[in-house]
């Protein structure tokens, strides 16, 4: 077994520097790498480019990095619910590239899978396709989108083992599996780091080969963005 376990978040983030490009898993606040984000705030690295579907809320998720003005550019599909983000975007401090959600996922997956680019129908005929190569296949038009190039991918899983194998839970899975192995170094934080052999190989979502470092997260607040319920009838 090739051991991917590191002692803590500090060790997991070794090598993180200013002006790097990061991928961060999560959809809204679900499945975000909370521990890595908290450590990035502590490290104070600046000039970051962050590839993440959303940008958190004012006081949680990537909003914490925005508060400290650590992010230079966001590449996302949807960035509502964040006043700090809006201010920095409107003032020109923050560069924002909005791309279709499926394109975001596939540009991660392409990087993971060794494809330099992919053709997608999403965005054809819209401003998203401006300046990009387009091509017709079987009578339909597609846009060429390039694989991301990132220094670190920070992902969050439910369970993992020392070999770096990962299992996700519910919709907290989202972009996390697609980002594993899509950057030079993939750092996985897990709610439960379990002994080797205790995960069923049939149930592994992401094999450890895609993960360079794994650690047991200290805290997972798992905040809910929109609490919707019904009454017990």
Quick note: the x/- pattern for another protein over 1-40, rule CB under 8 A, is --------------------------xxxxx---------
Q: Which of 95, 132, 149, 224 binds another protein (CB under 8 A)?
A: 224
Residue 151 touches another protein, criterion: CB under 8 A: no
Q: Give the helix/strand (H/E) hosting 203.
A: none
Site size toward another protein (CB under 8 A) is: 58
DSSP structure string for 183-202: EEEEEEEEEEEE-TT-S-GG
Closest contact distance (angstroms) between CB of 228 and another protein is 4
For residues 13 and 36, which CB has a smaller minimum distance to another protein in the complex?
A: 36
Residue pair 79/104 in contact (Cβ under 8 Å)? The answer is: no
Residue 13 CA to residue 37 CA, distance in Å, equals: 10
The owner of tokens 């992401």 is 206
DSSP structure string for 50-63: EE-S---BTTBTTH
C-alpha distance from residue 34 to each of 65, 89, 91, 100, 130 (Å): 11, 23, 27, 24, 35
For residues 66 and 104, which CB has a smaller minimum distance to another protein in the complex?
A: 104
Residue 226 touches another protein, criterion: CB under 8 A: yes
Residue 145 CA to residue 131 CA, distance in Å, equals: 11
Closest contact distance (angstroms) between CB of 196 and another protein is 24
For residues 140 and 195, which CB has a smaller minimum distance to another protein in the complex?
A: 140
Q: Between residue 38 and residue 77, which ones bind another protein under the rule CB under 8 A?
A: 53, 76-77
Contacting positions for another protein (CB under 8 A)? 27-31, 53, 76-80, 86, 89-90, 98-106, 108-109, 120-128, 158, 168-178, 205, 222-232
């Amino acid at each position: 077994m090739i051991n991917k376990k590191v002692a803590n978040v500090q060790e997991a983030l070794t090598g993180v520097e200013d002006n790097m490009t990061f991928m961060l898993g999560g959809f809204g606040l679900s499945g975000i790498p909370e521990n890595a984000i908290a450590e990035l705030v502590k490290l104070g690295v600046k000039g970051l480019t962050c590839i993440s579907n959303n940008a958190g809320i004012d006081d949680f998720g990537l909003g914490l990095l925005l508060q400290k003005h650590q992010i230079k550019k966001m590449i996302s599909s949807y960035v509502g619910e964040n006043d700090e983000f809006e201010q920095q975007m409107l003032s020109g401090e923050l560069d924002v590239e909005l791309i279709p959600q499926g394109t975001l996922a596939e540009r991660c997956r392409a990087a993971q899978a060794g494809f330099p680019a992919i053709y997608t129908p999403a965005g054809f005929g819209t401003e998203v396709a401006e300046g990009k190569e387009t091509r017709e296949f079987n009578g339909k038009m597609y846009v060429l989108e390039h694989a991301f190039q990132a220094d670190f991918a920070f992902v969050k899983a439910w369970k993992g083992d020392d070999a770096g194998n990962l299992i996700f839970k519910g919709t907290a899975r989202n972009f996390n599996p697609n980002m594993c192995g899509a950057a030079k170094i993939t750092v996985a934080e897990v709610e439960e780091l379990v002994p080797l052999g205790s995960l069923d190989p049939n149930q592994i979502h992401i094999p450890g080969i895609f993960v360079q470092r794994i650690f047991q997260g200290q805290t997972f607040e798992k905040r809910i963005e929109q609490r919707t319920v019904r009454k017990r009838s």
